[in-house]
């Protein structure tokens, strides 16, 4: 409740909201059933969204039916609070697919993976940004004590520079399968990047980053090119880069697995030798019907890694799915004990005001020390 109260106070102070003029932009009630491991309950949820100009607030009021609640199930969740006028903005909510620069330091960081299948207050973060014609600034902070700040500058019409700094104040505790707990030490990261627009919608870029621990530090670099195409109903983005990774350096260290199963920088595969390799990403968007993002990574002496997410909508049906594989572990498939994550959602519109949803998530739970399979079935009513 302290997190909920703090979020409300911050939002109100910054916005000076007049609640008498706030409009209810969305209003849904959900009747559902949740099963996570051996825990299961029926649940009633109310999810209102309020708008006032550039301001927005989303809540979730969850009423469990039964006493066997899953770990992390919150009764009142502050889903998001935001201010966005196009130039500057503040947002309190979940971070997902969060990337800075060209991903050498932070690539697809997610606070979603660290909690239950339903959003709770521990998964939220606070971020802000400011973008002017030549300069920009961005910051974020999470409840797990991860902090970051980024500055960008258009030094020339053909040169964009960026600087990023991220630090974890107290490390990440992870309960192992054997019952012991590993405390991954605090790590800080610093990155600088440069982008140069090229003909035919190509962009060339370079980035250098350092990971700093108490005992040592490591440096890595990348050079690459991306290409984008945007038509009325179709858009595509392709990115490819070659990475030079020094000993102990892990590219994209702050990633989707960071909060659940971070990479051990002192492990054999991470530290024994330089691990040069490459990364390729394809992002496709076809109107509102289909969106897909696939990332492939391969580094010398280690395993290939494939991460992806996709969503589709056809007539009354909707579906989305995502999966993530950890880097620098000895596996050849989606090994959940080593940090892989799988999730999906399927929906069906019964009518304009009623939708059926089935949610599924399977991931390693660092607080339980085992893989947890979660299912959530709901009937969502819109008003």
Helix (H) / strand (E) containing 357: strand 354-365
Q: Band of the pLDDT at 331, cuts 50, 70, 90?
A: very low
pLDDT bucket at 176, cuts 50 / 70 / 90 = confident
What is this structure's pTM?
0.86
C-alpha separations of 305 from 18, 113, 325, 328 in Å: 49, 18, 6, 9
Confidence of residue 21 (pLDDT cuts 50, 70, 90): low
Residues in Cβ contact with 155 at an 8 Å cutoff, skipping those fewer than 6 apart:
161
pLDDT band, very low/low/confident/very high, at 337 (cuts 50, 70, 90): low
Instruction: Answer whether residue 335 shows pLDDT above 90.
Output: no
What percent of the chain shows pLDDT beyond 70? 89
Residue 141: pLDDT band (50, 70, 90) is very high
pLDDT tens digits, one per residue of 59-93 = 999 999 988 888 889 999 999 999 999 899 999 99
**How far from 335 is each of 109, 172, 247, 324, 348, CA to CA, in Å?**
20, 21, 25, 10, 31
Highest mean pLDDT (candidates 66-70, 111-115, 235-239): 235-239
For residue 245, how many other CB atoms are within 10 A of its CB?
A: 24
Q: How far apart are CA 257 and CA 112, in angstroms?
A: 10
Q: Which pLDDT tens digit goes with each residue over 249-266?
A: 889 999 988 888 788 777
Residue 138 CA to its chain's centroid (Å): 16
* Selected residue with higher pLDDT from 338 and 359: 359
Cα–Cα distance between 346 and 30 in angstroms, integer?
A: 15
- 172 burial class (0-12, 13-18, 19+ CB within 10 angstroms)? buried
**Residue 10: is its pLDDT beyond 60?**
no
pLDDT digits (tens, 9 = 90+) for 27-43: 899 999 999 888 999 99
Of 102 and 8, more confident: 102
């Amino acid at each position: 409740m302290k997190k909920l109260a703090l979020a409300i106070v911050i939002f109100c102070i910054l916005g000076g909201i007049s609640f008498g003029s706030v409009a209810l932009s969305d209003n849904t009630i959900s009747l559902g059933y949740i099963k996570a491991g051996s825990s299961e309950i029926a649940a009633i949820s109310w999810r209102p969204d309020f708008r006032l100009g550039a301001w927005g607030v989303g809540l979730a009021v969850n009423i469990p039916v039964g006493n066997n609640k899953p770990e992390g199930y919150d009764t009142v969740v502050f889903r998001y609070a935001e201010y966005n006028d196009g130039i500057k903005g503040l947002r309190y909510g979940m971070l997902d697919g969060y990337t800075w620069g060209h991903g050498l330091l932070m690539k697809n960081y997610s606070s979603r993976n660290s909690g239950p299948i339903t959003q709770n207050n521990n998964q939220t973060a606070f971020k802000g940004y400011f973008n002017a014609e030549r300069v920009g600034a961005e910051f974020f902070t999470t409840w797990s004590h991860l902090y970051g700040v980024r500055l960008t500058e258009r030094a020339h019409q053909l040169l964009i520079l960026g600087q990023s700094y991220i630090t974890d104040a107290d490390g990440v505790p992870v309960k192992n399968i054997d019952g012991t707990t590993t405390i991954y030490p605090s790590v800080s990261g610093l990155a600088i990047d440069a982008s140069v627009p090229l003909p035919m919608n190509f962009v060339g870029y370079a980035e250098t980053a350092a990971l700093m621990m108490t005992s040592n530090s490591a440096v890595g670099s990348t050079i690459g090119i991306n290409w984008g195409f945007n038509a009325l109903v179709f858009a595509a983005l392709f990115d490819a880069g070659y990475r030079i990774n020094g000993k102990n350096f892990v590219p994209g260290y702050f990633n989707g697995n960071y909060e659940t199963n971070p990479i051990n920088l002192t492990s054999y595969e991470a530290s024994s030798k330089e691990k040069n390799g490459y990364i390729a990403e394809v992002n496709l968007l076809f109107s509102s019907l289909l969106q897909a993002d696939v990332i492939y990574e391969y580094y010398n002496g280690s395993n290939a890694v494939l991460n992806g997410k996709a969503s589709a909508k056809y007539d009354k049906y909707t579906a989305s799915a995502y999966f993530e594989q950890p880097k620098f572990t000895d596996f050849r498939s989606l090994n959940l004990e080593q940090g892989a994550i799988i999730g999906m959602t399927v929906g069906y519109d019964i009518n304009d005001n009623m939708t059926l949803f089935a949610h599924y998530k399977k991931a390693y739970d660092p607080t339980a020390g085992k893989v947890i399979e979660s299912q959530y079935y709901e009937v969502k009513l819109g008003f």
